[in-house]
Chain A
Amino acid sequence: MLYREALNKAIDESMAADKSVVILGEDVGRYGGSYRVSEGLFAKYGPKRVIDTPIAELSIVGNAIGMAIAGLRPIAEIMTVNFSLLAMDQIVNHAAKFRYMSGGKMTIPLTIRMPGGVSRQLAAQHSESYETMYSAVPGLIVLAASNATYAYHALKAAIFLNDPVIFLEHELLYPMEMEFKEIENFDPFKAEVVKEGEDLTILTYLKMRYDVLQAVPVIEKELGISVEVIDLNSLRPLDMKTISDSIKKTKRVVLVEEDHKTGGYGAEVIARISEQLFYELDAPPLRIAGEDVPIPYNRKLELASIPTPDKIVAQIREWSQANGL
């Protein structure tokens, strides 16, 4: 199943199961969605529930909050993570805070879907990863879907949660053919051990999962070690139990993220590991992250700005030599 088809299936089934589920955003209706995620829904559910909005992100999210207050379960689609900054006030000051500042009287069941990350030469205003910002906001839940199975189950769960969820997708994943299986009692807040290993834990999420999985056989062969790979899946809450179980076994941790290194999401994960698992570690943690530059247009520069399988191998090689692995 294609990744985008898994998302479509989750939305379609949710809309069929519950009339209060609606989807809104730019081009989600008649056009079928910029990445074809909402394809076919307009014909099936009509203009009242599949809502073409103006290009006004503040209103896409603001309107969705109002719909949620009125009893609907809106899915707001933001075309690209960068554009969500126009809706930041609605997300952070309103959706995330209404429950708390009303003393628990308000409930905002809202899912905000947005793709981010470096695609192919879309330049600085269409290529960012802002999960670190949203993950820092009490009141929000942040999920990052790297694969069809998680995307389907987690999106369905998000739609029916009674809190605002930032649901992160990645532009390069939409057309990817992936394994898919339906799982009963799926827990969207649990990290996935993608590959078991004994000597090194690599934490990652979203598209970097695939770069890591390409790098791992090379690392294992070259260093003669066995690597465990964990996909974090849920960024807020963070599944520290799965992380901790793995680190207690392997004693070493590397985090790979596409986000900028300074203040990136990995900084929080590594800070927690340092606080809670310091004495479990045999080597200092390593962060492999995007460079601290706006994403450039030129393909050579663009690739230089984010981790790639080759760079992951090279940085882990260097780190392991420096730390006598």
Chain B
Amino acid sequence: MNSARVKTFYYLMKLGREFELAAKEQYMQGNIAGFLHLDIGQEACSVGTMQAFDKGDVFTHYREHVLAIARGMDPKLIMAELFGKVTGVSKGKGGSMHLFEPKLDFYGGDAIVAGHLPIATGCAYARKIEGEMAGVFAIFGDGATNAGAFFESLNIAAAWKLPIIFFCENNYYAIGTRIGWVSPFEELYHKARHYMPSKRIDGMDVCEVYQVVMEAKEHIEEGLGPYFIEAETYRYEGHSMSDNGKYRSEEEMKIFKSRDPIENLKKEALKLGIVEPEYFEETDKKVAKEIEEAVEFAANSPEPDLSELYENVYCKECTNVVP
């Protein structure tokens, strides 16, 4: 454990958690609408992966606010997007599920389960023929591993030895459907074993996530083909704000909350004496201020003008001809 790295992990996970709590509050107040999928409990996956996979292209599912923050997206622009404001990262046209920033090589927010995996695979193909071996990182949930697009992507990535990391966040529930009801096994790394190196890890431990993604990164950079990681994790909230998550037992929730990625990292760091206690207090204050500013920025930003309705359907040269 390296002190500077632990500090960064803590800061980003805390920033992510507080962002999600603020989003939840703003949703209850009616400032955010639509589907809002919170990442609370899963921050180690979002932060550990993005800290390790710091180059290359990222393709993600729709539970992606914290992943975007960890990739370097400004929380202000994300919150403004959630508010549907024109200052949002997607000009208020995408919302919570569609955060895109090509400058960060961050593509998606894709809300079709497993739909982004063939796209990520194709991108990995292009990178490979260009000799860009930093490759591609694709993140998805347990639910995606039952879809055809998932298996097609594993097959193609392995057949063509593409530089891509498949990262599955197994939180055991696809909305209210327990993975074991619809999959022959709950340890999902088995699904990839015949195609590529495949590992199951503790997704509640940010250091382990970071470490294993670093290994995977080395693997793809060396041209050895794709790599699969299944991270066991848990979402503390429902699937989205319209789901109370009551299909899960309190017992189960308690077990996972005892493995809380943020609290445990702090505890461990203090025990090892590698981070001074004041750091956590200061960081918490700094994070609270940043989130407050993000909400303020979003609240004070203007709505898109009605003229935006027909903007960005087509590129400029096509806009002139398409009705």
Binding site for B on A (CB under 8 A): 48-49, 51, 53-54, 56, 58-59, 61-72, 74, 89-90, 93-94, 98-107, 138-139, 141, 161-163, 189, 236-238, 240
Contacts and interface: CB of A to CB of B under 8 A. Distances in A.
B122 A62 contact: yes
B322 A236 contact: yes
A63 B317 CA distance: 25
Nearest to B130: A70
B318 A141 contact: yes
Nearest to B164: A66
B312 interface: yes
Interface in B155-176: 155-156, 159
Given A104-B312, A141-B322, A66 B152 contact: no
Given A58-B152, A62-B119, A162-B318, A71 B126 contact: yes
Interface string B102-122: 100001001010011111111
A67 B122 contact: yes
A66 B120 contact: yes
B314 A106 contact: no
A70 B90 contact: no
B118 A161 contact: no
A67 B153 CA distance: 14
B112 A101 contact: no
A65, A102, A104, A161 — which one has the most chain B CB atoms within 10 A of its CB?
Answer: A102
Contact of A89 (B102, B112, B156, B321): B112
Nearest to B102: A105
B125 interface: yes
Contacts of A99: 312-315
Given A64-B122, A66-B124, A161-B318, 4 more contacts: A65-B119, A68-B122, A93-B115, A101-B100
A104 B98 CA distance: 12
Given A48-B129, A66-B125, A103 B317 contact: no
B311 A104 contact: yes
30 contacts: A48-B129, A53-B156, A54-B152, A54-B156, A56-B152, A56-B155, A58-B118, A59-B153, A62-B117, A63-B121, A66-B119, A66-B124, A66-B126, A67-B126, A70-B57, A70-B127, A89-B112, A94-B115, A98-B100, A99-B314, A100-B312, A101-B93, A101-B100, A102-B94, A103-B93, A107-B315, A138-B313, A141-B314, A161-B315, A237-B322
